[in-house]
Amino acid sequence: MGVHESISPELAEWIAAQPLFFVATAPLSPAGHINLSPRGLDTFRILGPLEVAYLDLTGSGNESAAHVRENGRITIMFCAFQGQSKILRLFGKGEVITPQHGDWRCLRDLFPQNLPAVRQIMRIQVTRVQTSCGFGVPLMEYAGQRTALAEWAERKGEAGLAEYRRRKNAVSIDGLPAPPLDGED
């Protein structure tokens, strides 16, 4: 295991080569559910040596945002599935940036404009950068990103996505409120 002072240029280059990352959050309540979500597409950016962000797309729930809104705790994990084994965890304090936030436009411009079903941006102040061996992570061949989200979002349309987020993304499975979306209060 290695603890690093920050995200070095070498680690940044390695992160950029990974097609998948995982997001972990948890509510404060010990009875609440821990959330662990995989993320793909071109949705992760390094903003500085101790600051990162990811573009959060509409999904079946909004656990990460509800947890971050409640307590800020978030961990990002990358695994090497090809080449030399490695696991990287970025522990930090997150902030949910919605389209109404003053930093939305400058952050949104860092990501491809054609990504489907954009919901919010998670900005994270990194408090610990840690690598480990990853010897137990399998070698796998990358076949590409899935197209299902884009196809689903296109079928829904903007109005359908807004309605879906109102019905499915307003609260966590434990009843915690997620940040308001689509200009709602």
Average pLDDT, stretch 152-168?
A: 96
Task: Please tell me the pTM assigned to this model.
Answer: 0.95
Please, which residues have CB within 8 angstroms of residue 15's CB and are 6 or more apart in sequence? 7, 21, 44, 46, 78, 88
Q: Is residue 3 within 8 Å of 129, Cβ to Cβ?
A: yes
At residue 156, what is the residue type? K
What is the model's pLDDT at position 76?
Answer: 99
- Using CA atoms, how far apart are residues 145 and 140, in angstroms rounded to an integer? 14
Q: Cα-Cα-Cα-Cα dihedral of 92, 97, 102, 107, to 10°?
A: 80
Percentage of the chain lying above the pLDDT 70 cut: 98
Q: Cα-Cα-Cα-Cα dihedral of 144, 137, 135, 91, to 10°?
A: 90
- Above 80 in pLDDT, residue 96? yes
Q: What is the average pLDDT score of the chain?
A: 96
What is the model's pLDDT at position 1?
Answer: 80
Average pLDDT, stretch 38-56?
A: 98
Quick: pLDDT tens for 1-46.
899 999 999 999 999 999 999 999 999 999 999 999 999 999 999 9
- Above 50 in pLDDT, residue 63? yes
At residue 45, what is the residue type? R
DSSP letter, residue 153:
H
- Using CA atoms, how far apart are residues 67 and 73, in angstroms rounded to an integer? 7
Going from the N-terminus, what domains does the chain have, and what CATH number goes with each? 2-136+143-168 (2.30.110.10)
